[in-house]
Amino acid sequence: MNDASGQGRGIGAVATLGLLTLVALIVRAQGFGNPVIGFDEQFYLLVGDRMLHGALPYVDIFDRKPIGLFLLYAGARALGGDGFLAYKLVATGFVVATAYGVQRIARAFAPPMAAIGAAILYILWLNLMEGEGGQSPVFYNALILVAATMMLRAVERRGSLFGSGAGAMAAIGLALQIKYSVLPEGFAFGCILLWCGWRERVAPVRLAGMALAWVALALLPTLAAWGAYAAMGEGQAWLFANFLSLGGQAARPLATELEGLAACVGILLPLALVIALGRPWRHVAAERRGGFRFLIVWLAVTAVAVLLYGRFGSPHYAMPIVLPATIVAAPVLGRWRRGWLVALIAVIALAGQVVLALSERAKGGRAEALAVARAAMPERGPDRGCLYVYDGYPALYMLTHSCLPSKWVFPGHLNTLDEASASAIGTDPVAEVRRILAARPGAIVDDYPRFAFGNPATRKVLGEALARDYHLAACVPTGPSRVRLVYRRGPGPMPAHCPSEAMLAIR
């Protein structure tokens, strides 16, 4: 955003980038060795890994995320190693790039140290919201920031309106292929571009032509993905997974979603209070207020988009709000004494580390994941069978080097009520679980206590097969109240650390 002289009055671009990189590496390092920090990203890495071996998302492995996200994970997996550290380092690179962009934009509305503080706060706040790894907003926020930067150019009349709009919509188009939830921001940005054209008295016919070009740029990556699948004869599989299947998902109970929403509000509350009480628009130079109004509109649109999405089972769904919020807060931070800013940064940094530690304690970490993997390792021989993770870590397929028992390998697609229909996942989950069990998996992984919103029909099918053909071979505690269960074929003794047979019988 700033010119070279403006940057020269700060600590310098290279030094700023170095500082942000150091902060990101330090505060995210706690999760680098943990292969099971998030179920979603475990699955994304699994898809990326299998893509390198010829698997085709939506055809060979079902999910609803756009192909761009899986391509990112495939690229990270291609870097080598076991893949778990590689994707986290790639994600950290995106976080640093986004934070640097936050600093660049904020510097136009706030002093240098406040802009850097806002960038650091962006990095830190992700740890409070399950953003310490590779959740999708970690990646697409960088592209949304590019779009917002181009929008600022358009709003503040710096450069060509068409060129700024083209850059913004191209970035939105790429972001859409990481997650479609950025669509409301893209729509709002498009409306603002049209308003800019009206303000500049662009002829209606010319403005309509510009709008068509902007829309085409925004849709191009998605149309290219559809076209690629159609060329392979799999256009319907792509269309169902990316769009049609969304209508088949059932809603979670309202009380549960409200509880998750309350958690998101609580996490964002300190940042909201900084903005609400500090009223940053009062501290912006008159010539930059038009641009700052855009930032406020962007923040409002992002908040509304998160609410409209309507899923709050994880705090990461609200992560997009952090991006504009830290920028909008920067002018307020610039009015604080340096000690207050340092104190806020220290408190959020410490809180983030505590959250990461508590999360690992509740879900398990590297030691627990490897213990489950050792117990579930497929046997050698022609009748070894694939591992089947009915409920548990998707990372186990990679940790055990197992074949995949199904196209629906993300556990939630077959074991939850909100996915319990063919209109949601493209197959009857009960029939698919029966098919998997008929192939006699070498090991089956389950979880205790049972998921509150599990599918009772598939659970019943699993329970019958376990009682008939399997024995409980290992129980690995992965937290104060959770045990991962590993079943193997045939009879065997009850291992240690297991819930009682009566407790396990409760469906």
Q: Does 5 score more than 60 pLDDT?
A: no
Mean pLDDT of 30-46: 97
Query: β-strands 483-489, 470-477: how paired?
Result: antiparallel
User: Which pLDDT score is estimated for 279?
Assistant: 97
203: left (phi over 0), alpha (psi -120 to 50) or beta: beta
Helix (H) or strand (E) holding 472: strand 470-477
User: How sure is the predictor about 2, in pLDDT bands with cuts at 50, 70 and 90?
Assistant: very low
Mean pLDDT of 162-168: 98
Mean pLDDT of 44-72: 98
β-partners of residue 387 are: 443
Rounded CA separation 369/372 (Å): 5
**Positive or negative, the Cα torsion across 162, 168, 174, 176?**
negative
User: Which pLDDT score is estimated for 497?
Assistant: 78
As a whole number, the mean pLDDT across the chain is 95
Contact by Cβ (8 Å): 127, 28: yes
Mean pLDDT of 213-236: 98
Q: Does 59 score more than 90 pLDDT?
A: yes
The predicted-structure confidence for 371-384, as pLDDT tens digits, reads as follows 999 999 988 766 67
281: left (phi over 0), alpha (psi -120 to 50) or beta: alpha
Q: Does 447 score more than 50 pLDDT?
A: yes
Mean pLDDT of 57-81: 98
Query: What is the three-state SS of 365-415?
Result: CHHHHHHHHHHHCCCCCCCCCCEEECCCCCCHHHHCCCCCCCCCCCCHHHH
The radius of gyration computed from the CA coordinates of the chain, to the nearest angstrom, equals 24
Q: Does 3 score more than 80 pLDDT?
A: no
5-14, 252-261, 308-317, 407-416: which has the minimum mean pLDDT?
5-14
Q: What percent of the chain has pLDDT over 90?
A: 92
Q: Does 123 score more than 60 pLDDT?
A: yes
The predicted-structure confidence for 273-314, as pLDDT tens digits, reads as follows 999 999 999 999 999 999 999 999 999 999 999 999 989 999
**Positive or negative, the Cα torsion across 22, 26, 27, 31?**
positive
Among candidate residues 148, 98, 144, 105, the one with its CA nearest the CA of residue 2: 105
103-107, 384-388, 445-449, 465-469: which has the minimum mean pLDDT?
384-388
Q: Does 238 score more than 70 pLDDT?
A: yes
- Between 382 and 254, the more confident residue is 254
User: Which pLDDT score is estimated for 8?
Assistant: 38
12-21, 127-136, 378-387: which has the minimum mean pLDDT?
378-387
User: Which pLDDT score is estimated for 487?
Assistant: 97
User: Which pLDDT score is estimated for 55?
Assistant: 98
Terminal alpha carbon distance of the chain: 57
Q: Does 1 score more than 90 pLDDT?
A: no
Contact by Cβ (8 Å): 461, 430: yes
Rounded CA separation 208/213 (Å): 9
Contact by Cβ (8 Å): 106, 330: yes
Contact by Cβ (8 Å): 297, 72: no
The predicted-structure confidence for 166-201, as pLDDT tens digits, reads as follows 999 999 999 999 999 999 999 999 999 999 999 999
3-state secondary structure of 474: strand
227-231, 274-278, 280-284, 476-480: which has the minimum mean pLDDT?
476-480
User: Which pLDDT score is estimated for 475?
Assistant: 96
Mean pLDDT of 365-393: 91
Among candidate residues 74, 83, 76, 80, the one with its CA nearest the CA of residue 53: 74
Collect all residues with Cβ–Cβ distance below 8 Å to 312 and sequence separation of at least 6. Answer: 257, 258, 259, 260, 261, 263, 264, 318
β-partners of residue 447 are: 484
Contact by Cβ (8 Å): 424, 246: no
The predicted-structure confidence for 343-356, as pLDDT tens digits, reads as follows 999 999 999 999 99
